[in-house]
Homo-oligomer: A and B are copies of this chain.
Amino acid sequence: MNQFGQNFRLTVWGESHGTQIGVSMDGVPAGIPLSEADFAEDLARRRSGAPGTTPRREPDLPQIVSGIYNGHTTGAPLTVEFANTNTRSQDYSNVVRHYRPSHADLVAHHKFGGFNDPRGGGHFSARLTLGLVAAGVVAKKLLPADVRFATRLTEIGGCTDPARFDEVLRAATADRDSVGGIVECRVQGVPLGLGEPFFDSAESMIAHLLFAVPAVKGVEFGSGFAGARLRGSENNDCFTDAAGATVTNHAGGINGGITNGNEIVVRAALKPTPSISREQITYNQDTDRVEPLEIRGRHDVCVALRGAVVVEAAVAIALANFIR
């Protein structure tokens, strides 16, 4: 469903080419200073325009339509909306039934009996992550003041050298192709004790949200998959004080599903954008044949670029749900 969380509960709605998309946040305490300007920094990190991102430009100005009075949250639902202004639905006319590979178009068509809004991916569009970023901004205000996020792309298209990222993007662009990436989010200052046994472990809640982000196909904490190749004596983090400090941090700051006060380290694998402009072969329901498809429209070469702040927002939202 389109809700997430208990203490900080999100509801999202909207479609890529509808009039607007929105997010409503419940459980936000009263009295938090908040204005539309507070969203600017994180929204800018999600904005397109840089090399490797879509040329579709939206101002993405947040409009707070409820839950604010005299510059502070009121304790009532906090709702933020974003108008959709730069839509070119005609770009999608040829892919409504000529299903783009690895896209949600086909499953959406079947699941919703052909009634889904196919324009720009409709409700499945990554545009919905605008709401996540907005909620992430609020979530950070709910966390203790000394919580610090450091999020970065550690890898693009298999290249781990940030100095060569532009080169990788240019090459993919030249080939009318796309590349995936890996986003790492580190969070310092998280208090010991966030996370709930049995099912709502800190990892469970963070991963639940991360896997709701389009393109995310893998999530790991601390040593993650590499840790599964180690021995216990190598992967264990020995405690050095009563507060839970450890020298190593293979656990990524989480033991038994509960934050242990060390830095949280989580990585998300984002697949390469499935919408590429080079020709692909795929099934066309109109002709009932597998045929070449050329995808029009304006797409990111690497969604991980703009996805980094979305990953960060997801982590912040999940952690905020453990704060009472």
Please tell me if the beta carbons of A229 and B196 are within 8 angstroms of each other in the complex.
no
Q: A104: nearest residue on chain B (CB-CB)?
A: B256
A44 at the interface (CB under 8 A from B): no
Flag A194-216 by CB within 8 Å of B: 1 or 0 each: 00111111011101111110101
Among A45-53, A54-62, A70-78, A136-144, the one that faces the other chain is: A70-78
Flag A220-261 by CB within 8 Å of B: 1 or 0 each: 111111011111111111111110101000111001111110
Q: A279: nearest residue on chain B (CB-CB)?
A: B233
Given contacts A74-B122, A225-B225, A237-B102, contact A107 B256 (CB under 8 A): yes
Q: Identify which of B26, B116, B257 contacts A74 (C-beta below 8 A).
A: B116
A90 at the interface (CB under 8 A from B): no
Q: Identify which of B182, B230, B241, B285 contacts A272 (C-beta below 8 A).
A: B230
B residues less than 8 Å from A124 (CB atoms): 197, 256-257
* Bound: A297/B260 CA distance, A: 24
- Restricting to A164-217, which residues have a CB under 8 Å from any CB of B? 172, 175, 177-182, 192-193, 196-201, 203-205, 207-212, 214, 216-217
Please tell me if the beta carbons of A75 and B2 are within 8 angstroms of each other in the complex.
no
Please tell me if the beta carbons of B235 and A283 are within 8 angstroms of each other in the complex.
no
Please tell me if the beta carbons of B225 and A269 are within 8 angstroms of each other in the complex.
yes
B residues less than 8 Å from A115 (CB atoms): 30-31, 69-70, 72-75
A296 at the interface (CB under 8 A from B): no
* Bound: A257/B102 CA distance, A: 11
Given contacts A18-B65, A204-B209, contact A74 B117 (CB under 8 A): yes
Given contacts A122-B69, A229-B157, contact A112 B196 (CB under 8 A): no
Question: Taking the nearest CB of chain B, how far is it from the CB of A186, in angstroms?
Answer: 16
* Bound: A182/B227 CA distance, A: 10
Please tell me if the beta carbons of B101 and A239 are within 8 angstroms of each other in the complex.
yes
* Bound: A113/B234 CA distance, A: 30
A86 at the interface (CB under 8 A from B): no
A94 at the interface (CB under 8 A from B): no
Please tell me if the beta carbons of A106 and B240 are within 8 angstroms of each other in the complex.
no
Q: A99: nearest residue on chain B (CB-CB)?
A: B239
Question: Taking the nearest CB of chain B, how far is it from the CB of A34, in angstroms?
Answer: 11
Given contacts A75-B111, A116-B69, A122-B69, contact A217 B211 (CB under 8 A): no
Given contacts A77-B13, A179-B232, A218-B219, contact A255 B24 (CB under 8 A): no
Please tell me if the beta carbons of B9 and A1 are within 8 angstroms of each other in the complex.
yes
B residues less than 8 Å from A93 (CB atoms): none
* Bound: A136/B157 CA distance, A: 37
B residues less than 8 Å from A210 (CB atoms): 207
Q: Identify which of B9, B77, B103 contacts A255 (C-beta below 8 A).
A: B103
Question: Taking the nearest CB of chain B, how far is it from the CB of A303, in angstroms?
Answer: 10
Q: Identify which of B197, B219, B236, B246 contacts A219 (C-beta below 8 A).
A: B219
21 A-B pairs with C-beta separation under 8 A: A11-B11, A14-B66, A14-B77, A15-B74, A74-B116, A99-B239, A104-B256, A104-B257, A107-B193, A107-B258, A107-B259, A111-B193, A177-B231, A201-B211, A218-B221, A220-B225, A230-B271, A235-B271, A235-B274, A236-B272, A240-B282
